[in-house]
């Protein structure tokens, strides 16, 4: 059946896979000698998946063209299965926004971050997308218009008062002597025009302010989303060693607070600081024009002193508030400690002692709370004193100007209204300062994390790994964990060759570094010395993506996501059909157990899979590896938590899965190594003995027998 016929037969959107077919079509037309994926029910899927390395590199999209023929997406988009199209459509939109070059996000940024690029504050605050830039420019335009309208409000009121006062004084002579009644109506008409302008300015100020808020909200939320995605990608690009030594929850806390801090800084800059500075500049310029530079200078000095005083007092208040919070926490700690140890308190008649201890903490809290309230009173009084002093001087000079005939009555209203309008945002200076300081502390830790450079990353000229035979070679590999206690090397001139399609079992003492071999092969770490080759290619010279696509692993401790069983199995190959998921579960011996659950494959396994037993988690990990269908397999004590009957089924499935594939088995049980082509005994960081299972098991003086006798290798 042709590829097009298969696509029509299955009734699915196979167009995204056509680029893979065009690229690897000649290979796909070949009939493979061995078919380890016989359990795959879909003929189209089985054809496509025989090419191990290509299925995650599907990038073409229907009806999208560019200079290269097809608009490329990141591999992340290729992993979203058609099976999940019924889920929230927003997920697809978000992913497209993050990873497409022509969308809201920038695929090149994501790849650079994944390659270890450090990010600055400018990278996080200023978007590269043209649509977001246009929204920012429009928001700034709306901000300017709204502030002009706000300034126009007292200006219209001042002009209206001047017009009316002018009609009563200056125009009265002409009205009485010439009898021009129309002059009164004209003046009243002008006043009405100013009144309409006054109301219109208020409406425009509100309209453009809210339009700016609505327009910029998209920028803020999209920027937060993209920054969260960048942070997520950055975390996954960091060395696994860094993540292991970090305190539990520390990275999550930095992540959450950092994203919140970016939004907070953006909000304060755009909605508070920038409008206040703009309004301050406009007010100063208008006062200078209308009532002279002296009053404008007084207003400017008043506002500068207001801001400086607020910043100084708020800084001291932050220290006092921190002391108050610490005192409150100490008092709460004493209270909780006494309640927790209530029996001990009664045993020793210590109620009075504990009361004194608690009262002492409460007194400390009271003193600090009073200091905080007194500092607030000082702040409020100081702000009012500075503002009212400036207001008095400005209005006194304006009154003097009216008396001298230099200014008008409307200017008095103008000065008063402008100063009170400016006082509204200035009242929030203390809050803005405190929030900005807090946000900058969180942002600093966030940026420090974003500036971390991974040691394990793609070289600039890294190429995709091409696996033909699957031969693995460890050549004089040395390795020691950087943060481990002591400086003993885990691997010391370790050399091992696993030929194409062969299975090598590695046995050794617990903690000797057997699992380190798997981690080095996956490039979770780079060896300090030596080389690791796959088909003659140094794994440090190939891309991490292509390397890890080629290898499948069943670890000793399978950690599951707090999602459904189906999701956790499908994690091995997100595009798999439900039939393939079930087939993998059957091969792993977990299908019947899943069917007995009330929600079946939709059962949520809990955090780290805590709702399942150790054996069930391990079998889900095995099913995940079956579904990935890799070219190279690693079984890291994969049957250590299974009973004898299930272990037999799994080993049979392993044998089927590992047919014609290169496999490494890190074993704790004798039963899991007897089917291997070769056994390698690991001791003191190197291979001390190798041979076939028959040679090794029946050699009474060999290292393997010593391990068996010391119970380091289970006999069943």
Q: pLDDT tens for residues 495-547?
A: 889 888 888 988 877 777 788 888 899 888 888 889 999 998 999 999 888 99
Q: What percent of the chain has pLDDT over 70?
A: 74
What is the overall mean pLDDT for the chain?
Answer: 74
Binned at pLDDT 50, 70 and 90, residue 305 comes out as: very high
User: In sequence order, which ranges of 88-129 are alpha helices (DSSP H)?
Assistant: 89-99, 107-114, 121-125
**pLDDT by residue (tens digit) across 651-698?**
777 777 777 788 888 876 676 677 788 888 887 777 888 888 777 777
Q: Is residue 607 classed exposed, middle or buried when 0-12, 13-18 and 19+ CB atoms within 10 A define those classes?
A: exposed
* Minimum mean pLDDT range among 94-103, 169-178, 390-399, 485-494: 169-178
Banded model confidence at residue 701, pLDDT cuts 50, 70, 90: low
Most confident by average pLDDT, 225-229, 508-512, 539-543, 645-649: 539-543
Collapse the DSSP code of 51 into the 3-class scheme (helix H, G, I; strand E, B; otherwise coil) and give the result. coil
**What gap in Å lies between CA 449 and CA 251, rounded to an integer?**
8
> What pLDDT, on a 0 to 100 scale, did the predictor assign at position 204?
92
Using DSSP, state whether 450 is helix, strand or coil. helix
**Per mean pLDDT, which of 85-99, 129-143, 350-364 is the most reliable?**
350-364
Q: What span, in angstroms and rounded, lies between the C-alpha atoms of 519 and 525?
A: 6
Provide the pLDDT for residue 641: 58
**Residue 108, pLDDT above cutoff 60:** no
Identify the band that residue 58 occupies on the pLDDT scale cut at 50, 70 and 90: very low
Instruction: Give the residue among 289, 282, 290 at the shortest CA–CA distance from 411.
Output: 290
Is the pLDDT at 342 greater than 60? The verdict is yes
More confident residue, 489 or 182: 489
- Is the pLDDT at 430 greater than 80? The verdict is no
Q: CB-based burial of residue 299 (10 Å sphere; 0-12 exposed, 13-18 middle, 19+ buried)?
A: buried
Confidence of residue 112 (pLDDT cuts 50, 70, 90): low
> Span 448-466, mean pLDDT?
83
Of 121 and 484, which is predicted with more confidence?
Answer: 121
Query: Residue 467 above 80 pLDDT?
Result: yes
pLDDT for 569:
92
Alpha-carbon gap, residue 431 to 381, rounded angstroms: 16
Report the pLDDT value the prediction gives residue 111, as an integer from 0 to 100: 58
Average pLDDT rounded to a whole number, residues 25-37: 36
Structural contact between residues 426 and 309, judged by C-beta atoms closer than 8 angstroms: no
Residue by residue, DSSP assigns 221-252 as: HHHHHHHHHHHHHHHHHS-HHHHHHSPTTHHH
pLDDT over 80 (residue 402)? yes
pLDDT band at 709 (very low <50, low <70, confident <90, very high): low
Q: Is the pLDDT of residue 418 over 60?
A: yes
DSSP state of 463: B
Question: Per-residue pLDDT tens for 63-99?
Answer: 333 333 333 333 333 333 333 334 444 444 445 444 4
Q: Count how many Cα atoms sit within 13 Å of the Cα of residue 224 in the half-sphere of its side chain.
A: 17
Cα–Cα dist 258/230, whole Å: 12
In the predicted structure, residue 124 carries a pLDDT above the cut 80: no
Q: How confident is the model at residue 310 (pLDDT cuts 50, 70, 90)?
A: confident
C-alpha–C-alpha distance, residues 31 and 47, integer Å: 9
203 has a pLDDT exceeding 90: yes
Token pair recorded at residue 426: 């200035």
- Measured distance CA(665)–CA(196) in Å, rounded: 85
Question: Which distant-in-sequence residues (6+ apart) come within 8 Å of 582 by Cβ?
Answer: 591, 601
pLDDT of residue 532: 92
Min mean pLDDT across 8-22, 127-141, 527-541, 699-713 is at: 8-22
Q: How confident is the model over 226-235, as a mean pLDDT?
A: 80
């Amino acid at each position: 059946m042709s590829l097009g016929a298969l696509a029509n037969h299955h009734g699915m959107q196979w167009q995204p896979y056509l680029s893979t077919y065009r690229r690897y079509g000649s290979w796909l037309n070949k009939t493979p000698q061995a078919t380890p994926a016989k359990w795959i029910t879909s003929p189209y899927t089985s054809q496509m998946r025989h090419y191990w390395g290509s299925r995650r590199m599907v990038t073409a999209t229907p009806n999208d063209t560019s200079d290269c023929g097809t608009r490329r997406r990141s591999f992340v988009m290729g992993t979203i299965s058609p099976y999940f199209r019924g889920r929230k459509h927003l997920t697809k939109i978000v992913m497209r926004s993050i990873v497409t070059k022509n969308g809201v996000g920038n695929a090149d940024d994501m790849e650079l971050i994944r390659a270890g690029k450090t990010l600055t504050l400018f990278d996080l605050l200023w978007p590269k997308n043209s649509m977001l830039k246009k929204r920012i420019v429009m928001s700034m335009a709306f901000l300017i218009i709204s502030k002009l309208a706000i300034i126009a409000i007292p200006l219209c009121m001042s002009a209206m008062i001047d017009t009316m006062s002018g009609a009563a004084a200056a125009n009265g002579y002409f009205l009485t002597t010439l009898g021009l009644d129309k002059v009164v109506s004209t003046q009243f008409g002008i006043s009405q025009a100013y009144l309409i302008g006054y109301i219109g300015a208020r409406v425009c100020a509100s309209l453009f302010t809210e339009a700016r808020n609505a327009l910029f909200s998209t920028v803020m939320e999209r920027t937060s989303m993209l920054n969260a995605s960048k942070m997520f990608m950055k975390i996954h690009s960091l060395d696994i060693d860094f993540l292991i030594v970090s305190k539990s929850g520390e990275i999550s806390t930095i992540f959450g607070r950092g994203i919140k801090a970016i939004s907070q800084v953006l909000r304060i800059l755009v909605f508070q600081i920038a409008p206040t500075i703009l309004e301050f500049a406009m007010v100063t310029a208008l006062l200078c024009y209308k009532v002279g530079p002296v009053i404008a200078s007084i207003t400017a000095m008043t506002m500068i002193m207001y801001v400086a005083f607020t910043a100084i007092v708020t800084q001291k208040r932050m220290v006092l508030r921190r002391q108050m919070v610490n005192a409150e926490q100490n008092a709460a700690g004493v209270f909780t400690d006494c309640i927790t140890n209530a029996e001990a308190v009664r045993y020793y008649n210590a109620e009075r002692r504990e009361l004194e201890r608690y009262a002492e903490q409460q007194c400390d809290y009271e003193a600090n709370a009073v200091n905080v309230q007194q500092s607030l009173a000082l702040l409020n009084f100081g702000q009012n004193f500075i503002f009212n002093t400036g207001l008095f001087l400005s209005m006194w000079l304006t009154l003097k100007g009216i008396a001298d005939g230099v200014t008008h009555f409307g200017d008095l209203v103008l000065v008063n209204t402008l100063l009170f309008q400016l006082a509204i945002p200035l009242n929030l200076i203390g809050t803005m300062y405190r929030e900005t300081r807090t946000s900058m502390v969180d942002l600093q830790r966030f940026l420090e994390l974003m500036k971390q450079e991974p040691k394990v990353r793609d070289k600039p000229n890294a190429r995709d790994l091409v696996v033909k035979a699957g031969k693995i070679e460890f050549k004089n590999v040395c390795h020691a964990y950087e943060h481990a206690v002591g400086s003993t090397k885990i691997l010391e001139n370790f050399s091992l060759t696993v030929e194409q399609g062969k299975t090598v079992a590695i046995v050794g003492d617990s903690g000797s570094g057997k699992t380190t071999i798997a981690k080095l092969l996956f490039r979770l770490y780079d060896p300090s010395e030596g080389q690791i080759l796959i088909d003659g290619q140094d794994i440090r010279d190939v891309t991490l993506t292509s390397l890890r696509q080629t290898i499948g692993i069943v670890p000793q401790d399978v950690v599951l996501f707090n999602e459904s069983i189906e999701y956790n199995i499908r994690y091995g190959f997100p595009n798999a059909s439900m039939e393939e998921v079930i087939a993998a579960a059957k091969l792993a011996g977990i299908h019947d157990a899943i069917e007995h659950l009330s929600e079946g494959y939709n059962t949520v396994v809990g955090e780290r899979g805590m709702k399942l037993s150790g054996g069930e988690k391990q079998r889900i990990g095995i099913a995940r590896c079956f579904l990935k269908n890799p070219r190279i397999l690693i079984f890291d004590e994969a049957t250590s938590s299974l009973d004898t009957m299930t272990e037999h089924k799994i080993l049979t499935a392993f044998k089927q899965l590992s047919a014609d594939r290169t496999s490494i088995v890190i074993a704790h049980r004798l039963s899991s190594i007897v089917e291997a082509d070769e056994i390698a005994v690991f001791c003191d960081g190197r291979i001390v003995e190798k041979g076939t299972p028959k040679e090794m098991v029946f050699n009474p003086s060999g290292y393997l027998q010593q391990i068996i006798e010391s119970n380091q290798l289970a006999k069943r």
